[in-house]
Structure 1
Amino acid sequence: MLSSCKLGPHFPKWLQTQNNFSQLDISSNGISDVVPSWFWDLSPGLIYLNLSCNLIKGLLPDLSVKYHGYLGIDLSSNHFMGPIPLVPPNVTVLNLSKNEFSGSLSFLCAIMGMGLIYLDLSNNLLSGELPNCWVQFTRLSIISLAYNNLYGKIPSSMGSLGIYSLHLSNNNFSGEVSSSLNRCTKLRMIDLGGNKFTGKIPAWIGTHLTSLIVLSLRSNEFKGSIPRHICHLTKIQILDFSKNRLSGNIPHCFHNFTALAESKSSRAISFPSYGTFEPFFVRFSSYIENALVLWKGQESKYGNNLRLLNLIDLSGNELVGKIPIQVGGLAGLVSLNLSRNNLTGNIIQEVGWMKMLESLDLSANELSGAIPTSLADLNFLSVLNLSHNRLSGRIPISTQLQSFDPSVYSGNLELCGLSLPNKCPGEEIVVEPPVLVRGKDRRIQEDDDKFITTGFYVSLGLGFTLGFWTVFGTILFNKPSRHAYFEFLDRIKNWFYVTTALSMNRLQRRLQR
C-alpha cells in the first residue's frame, strides 16, 4: 500500500514493471496525470484498486474484460470525466463519487454478477432516469446517487433490494415515493432530500421500515399531515421533514422515539460484515453515513459525527396547533427546529427536561405567553432563536439566556428584559433632571435614602477645617505647646531606637550560643 507517499504529480511509471499483485492503493498522492493505457492490463487478478483523492483526469476505458475475480474499485475524488464505461461483472465495491462523470446509469444493467455490495456515484454530472434492473443486485447494501441530475421516479425493482442505506438527495426525482420500498425492511437510512417528491409522507415508512435511524425528506413538495405511524420508528435519531408543505398538528406520540428519549442514545450506524473471503471490503467496514442536516442555523454534512447527533427538524412547513408536551420527554435530543410554521400556544415548560439540547429554534411562529423558566436549566444550549412570535413578560434571569444576542428575542413586542429595549418594571434607569445653581447646570447625585445631600458635604468641609486649625494652630502660635509637641516626638524616636538596639543585641547573643 502506497497511500500518501507523494508519488505525484506524474503517474508512477515504475508500476509498469510490476505484475500479479492483488491489491494496489496509491490514493492521496497528488497525481494529476491521466491513467496510462498499460496500467489497466497490469494484473488481471486484482481484487482491490484505490486511486482516490488525487487529481487524475481523463476517460475510463472499458473495464468489463480487464479483471476476472471479485474486485473493489475506488476512484473517488478525482477529475475523471465522460460516461461511466462497462465495469467488471464481479465488481463488489464501486466508488466513483466526486468526479465529473456524465451520461446515464445504463452501465448498471450490464453488470451480470451478483456480488455488488457498495455503489457510490454521488457528486457527479450524471443524468437520466434510474434503470429498472436492480433485481440482480441481491447483495447490494449501500446506494448513494446524491448530487447528480437524475430525474423521474424510483423504479419498482428497487423494492427487491436488501439495502441498508439509500441516498438519492439533491437530484430532480419527482412523483410519489415508490411503495415498492416498503419491502426494503433492512433500511437504516433514507435520504430523499432536495428533490421534487410530491404527495403525502407514506405511512408505510413507519409500519414497515422500523429499523430506520435516519429519515430525511427535507426540501421536497410533500403535503398533508405527518402520519402517526412515523412514531413507530423507535430507533430514529435524525428526523428531517423541513421545507415541505406539511400541515396539521405535530403528532402527540413523539415520546415513542425511544432512541431520542434516552440521554445516552447516540448509536453508531453499523453495517453487516462480509467475511474474510473479500479482504478489500475491510476498508469499508467502518463506513459511517453522511447526512445533510440543518445544524445550528446552517446546512452541515455530518459523517463521523452523525452518531453524536439527535435531531428533529420540522421547520419551513405549515404546521399548526400547540407544541405537544411529549416533545419534552426526548431527553436525548440535541437539536430541535420548529421554526417558520404557524404554531400557537405557550412554549412548553417541559422544554427544560431536554438536558442535552444544544440548539433550539422556535422562531417565526405564533407562540405566546412567557418564556418558561425551565429554559434556563439547559446548560448545553448554545443556539437559541425565539424571534418573531408573540411572547410576553420577562426573560428568565439566567447568565446563559442573558448572554444571547438580543436578536434571538426580536419581534416579540411585549417581551422585556435587560438585554432588550423594553425594560421590565423595576429595571428602568432613572435619569435625574439638571439642577440650576448660580446660572449653571449641575447634576447632584443623591442616595436613595436622601442622606448624602449638599448640606452633608458643606458640614464635612467645615468640620475638617475647624479640626485642622485647632490642632496645628495651637502648635504654630503657642510656644510652650510647640516645645511640648516636639519633645514628645523626640521621646517616641528614642524609645523606638533603644527598643530596636536591645532586641538586636539579644538576638546576636542567642546566635553566638
Structure 2
Amino acid sequence: MLDASSNRINGSIPLKMGEQGNLNYLNLSNNVMSGIIPNDITLLPNLRLLDLSSNSFHGAVPVTKYSFSPLEIIDLSRNYLNGGIPVEICFIVTLTTLDLSNNSIGGQIPYCLDNLIKLTSLNLAYNNLNGQIPLSLVSLLEMNLLNNSLVAQVPDKYRYCFPAKAFVGNKKLCGNIKGLRHCDLPFFSIIMPLVPMSICIGASLFLYSKRFDQIEGPGIQLLCAFLPR
C-alpha cells in the first residue's frame, strides 16, 4: 500500500513502479506530478486502487491489452490526458469505479463497457467525447457525462436513472431532460398526414430531416408505406 496523496510531490512516476508486484493500493492524488503515466502500472498483479487524480499528467490513458490487474477503482481525473478511452479497459472485469473526468479525452464512449458487469460509477465529465451514449450504461448507479460533445437523443429511460445535470453541456444532445433541447421531429412525421395517396404512385421525393440536418431518402414510396389505406 502506498498513499502519498496531498504532499505537493513533483516529478514523474518512477518507471520501476511497475515492478512493485505486491502493491495493491496506489494513491498519488493531489500533488504536482507530471509526465506520462507508465502502462506498467496497470500490469501490477495485485493492484486494486489506482488514484492519480489532481496532478498534471499528460498522454494516453494507461491501459493496454495486457492489463489484467484486479483493479476495482481507477481515478485519473483532473489531469491533461488526451487520446481516447482504450477499449482494452473493457477487459478489467473487476472494475467498479472509473473516473476520467476533467481531461482532454476525445473519441467515442466504448460500447464494450457493458462487459464491465461490476461497474457502478462512471464519470467522463469535462472531456471532448463525441458520438452517442451507449444504451447499456443505463444499468450504472452513477454516471456523469457533463460538458462533452455527445450527439443524438438521450433515451427516455435515462431520465429516470440519472440527474439532468449528468447530460447538460452537450449542445448536440436532445431529449426529455431538463437542460437539454427538445428533439425536433423529422419533417416527414409532420407532413405525412397531409400527403394524399394519389401522389404516391410513381412519384419520388427526398425528405428533409430537421433532426439530422441532412437530406434523406429514398423517396415518397417509403413515406406512403406509413399512410393509412
**What TM-score comes out, normalization by structure 2 length?**
0.73
Q: Given the alignment, which residue of 44, 47, 60 partners 1:200?
A: 60
| Match of residue 76, structure 2, among 211, 217, 236 | 217
SS across alignment from 1:230: helix
Contact 2:12 2:35 in 1 (8 A): yes
> Is 2:25 the counterpart of 1:154?
no
The CA deviation at 1:359 is 4.3
Tell me how far apart the structure 1 counterparts of residues 96 and 60 of structure 2 sit (CA, whole Å).
Answer: 22
CA RMSD in angstroms, aligned pairs only: 2.1
Unaligned stretches of 5+ residues in structure 1 = 1-141, 261-309, 372-384, 394-513
Whether 1:364 aligns to 2:169 is yes
Relative to structure 1, is the Cα distance of residues 345 and 392 closer, same or farther in structure 2, using a 3 angstrom cutoff? closer
In the aligned structure 1, how far is the partner of 2:47 from the partner of 2:58?
21
What is the deviation of 1:325?
1.7
CA distance in 1, matches of 2:44, 2:69: 10
Contact 2:67 2:92 in 1 (8 A): no
Partner of 1:320: 130
Q: How many angstroms does 1:358 deviate by?
A: 5.7
User: How many equivalent residue pairs?
Assistant: 182
Q: CA separation of 1:350/1:229 partners in 2, compared to 1, >3 Å: closer, same or farther?
A: farther
- 1:349 CA drift (Å): 4.0
Matched-pair identity in %: 29
Change (3 A) 1:151 1:184: same
CA contact 2:42–2:69 (8 Å) conserved in 1: no
Superposed CA deviations along residues 429-450 of structure 1, whole A, max 9, x for unmatched, are xxxxxxxxxxxxxxxxxxxxxx
Distance in 2, matches of 1:183 and 1:368, equals 37
In the TM superposition, residue 180 of structure 1 has moved relative to its aligned partner by 3.3
* C-alpha contact (below 8 Å) 2:53/2:79 kept by paired residues: yes
1:49-198 aligned at under 5 Å gives the runs 142-161=1-20, 162-198=22-58
Instruction: Map residues 411-422 of structure 1 onto 2, 5 A cutoff.
Output: none
Contact kept, 8 Å, 1:362 with 1:386, in 2: the verdict is no
> Any idea what SS the aligned residue of 1:248 has?
strand
The corresponding residue for 1:345 is 152
Q: What SS is found at the alignment partner of 1:326? A: helix
8 Å contact from structure 1 (residues 186, 209) kept in 2: no
Structure 2 residue identity aligned to 1:365: N
Letter in structure 1 aligned against 2:124: L
Per-residue deviation, residues 359-397 of structure 1 (Å, max 9, x unmatched): 4510110244442xxxxxxxxxxxxx742x33358xxxx
Quick one: which amino acid aligns to residue 336 of structure 1?
M
Higher relative contact order (CA 8 A, sep 6+): 2
The alignment's TM-score, normalised by the length of structure 1, stands at 0.34
Aligned match of 2:181: 390
Do the aligned partners of 1:173 and 1:196 also contact (CA within 8 Å) in 2? yes
Deviations 1:41-67 (A, max 9, x none): xxxxxxxxxxxxxxxxxxxxxxxxxxx
Report the alpha carbon displacement of residue 322 of structure 1 after superposing the two structures with TM: 1.0
Q: Within 1, Cα distance between the matches of 2:69 and 2:76?
A: 16
